[in-house]
A = this chain, B = another copy of it.
Amino acid sequence: MSDFYVAGVDLGGTKIYTVLAASNGEVLAEIKIPTEAEKGPQHVITRILESVALVKREAPLASRRLRALALGAPGPLDTSRGIIHFAPNLNWQDLPIREILEGKTGIRVLLDNDANLAALGEHVYGAGRGAENMVYITVSTGVGGGFILGGRLYRGSSDGAGEVGHMTVLPGGPLCSCGNCGCLEALASGTAIAREARQRVAGGGGREILAAAGGDFGRISAVSVAAAAAGGDPVAVSIIEEAARFLGIGVANLVNLLNPSLVVLGGGVMKTGELIWEGVRREVGARALETARARVRLVPAELGGRAGAIGAVALALQAVGPLE
């Protein structure tokens, strides 16, 4: 009965990442195409189906048939009803995406939060294999997360769990995109690092950071800060250290609350170098209680930008495949 395959789709505001996998989880093909969100929901739905058609064409399928499609999407959504409540990047509201996609494909469709699926992907196929309790955090433009508790993806009571980025770690701290102040995302994301760097440069400092951005103020990013820090620039080092400190506080909080055996850290910011990891480890060492600290390991994510789509494959296989 393993004569089928599934598709995992990670729907982002700028790109759609789609993976086709066999019933044993083997990846047969993957593709990344632009979302073209500005053309509206109907167009994006067409793009999702196009991406699936493209991976199907690439894969050596023979007689196998597509049995399920799982979609990871940002924003508040309802996994059981298959509705995306609100996706600002896509300009969507209360879209019954599952019903629409099931109508167009005739196969089973599943919907879940993109960060949750990235956590699931790392758990089933990546750095988190075998972990009973795992915290996944991705630090890039924003800060997202997902929890595997008791071996299963934990979604909470309205699919809203794992909002690691909106943990307050500095009351009265900088304004966050969510409207509050002092969220982890406002202090440790790539966006926050770039914002801090631009402030320093605008204030007359951060010469090395500006140089790393090719002298273009508008191109200053977490990457330019990391590059300047790698070169020993003290301003850049202090910016990264400060972000790492808050990230470490957030991780320590999660260790004290959830006592996981594993924390998987992914996203572009975690790839900027050892400095950010050192800061995180230092805070966890200082702030996590002994019992929990002795049990936990901090490791880098393994699946990179593929995590969400790979996690969608895992979800689809859990729903229809031999895994469950």
Pair B259/A156 contact, Cβ less than 8 Å: yes
A133: chain B residues within 8 A (beta carbon): 156-157
Smallest CB-CB A-B distances: 5 pairs: A156-B259, A160-B291, A160-B259, A160-B292, A161-B259
Residue A272 lies at the interface, judged by CB distance under 8 Å to chain B:
no
Residue A178 at the chain B interface, CB threshold 8 Å = yes
Q: Are B254 and A163 in contact (CB under 8 A)?
A: no
- CB of A141 within 8 A of chain B? no
* A-B contacts, 16 listed (Cβ < 8 Å): A76-B291, A132-B157, A150-B150, A156-B258, A157-B260, A157-B296, A158-B259, A158-B295, A161-B258, A162-B259, A163-B292, A164-B257, A166-B287, A169-B169, A170-B170, A180-B287
Residues A166 and B259 in contact, CB atoms below 8 Å apart? no
Chain B CB within 8 A of A167 CB? yes
Identity of the chain B residue whose Cβ is nearest the Cβ of A162 in the assembled complex: B257
How many copies of this chain sit in the oligomeric assembly? 2
Residue A218 is within 8 A (CB to CB) of chain B in the complex = no
Q: How many Å lie between the Cα of A163 and that of B180 in the bound state?
A: 25
A171 proximal to B (CB < 8 A): yes
Could you tell me if B166 and A169 are in contact, using CB atoms closer than 8 angstroms?
no
Chain B neighbourhood of A207, CB < 8 A: none
* A156 CB contact (under 8 Å) in B152, B166, B292: B292
Take A132-B157, A157-B132 as given contacts and tell me if A167 and B257 are in contact as well, using a CB distance cutoff of 8 Å: yes
Residues of B within 8 A of A294 (CB): 158
Q: Are A178 and B249 in contact (CB under 8 A)?
A: no
For chain A, the count of residues having a C-beta within 8 Å of the partner chain is 48
Interface residues of A (CB under 8 A from B): 76, 85, 132-133, 147, 149-150, 152, 154-164, 166-171, 178, 180, 245-246, 249, 252-254, 256-261, 286-287, 289-292, 294-296
Kindly provide the distance from the CB of A291 to the nearest chain B CB, expressed in whole angstroms. 4
A73–chain B nearest beta-carbon distance, Å: 13
Distance between A93 CB and nearest chain B CB, rounded to angstroms: 13
Pick from B156, B162, B171, B286: contact of A260, CB below 8 A.
Answer: B156
In whole angstroms, how far apart are the Cα atoms of A132 and B159 in the complex?
A: 13
B166 touching A256, Cβ below 8 Å: yes
Q: Is the CB of A160 within 8 A of B253?
A: no
Nearest CB on B from A168, distance (A): 5
Q: How far is the CA of A260 from the CA of B178 in the complex (A)?
A: 20
Query: Are B259 and A157 in contact, CB atoms less than 8 angstroms apart?
Result: yes
Closest to A161 in B: B259
Least CB separation from A259: chain B residue: B156
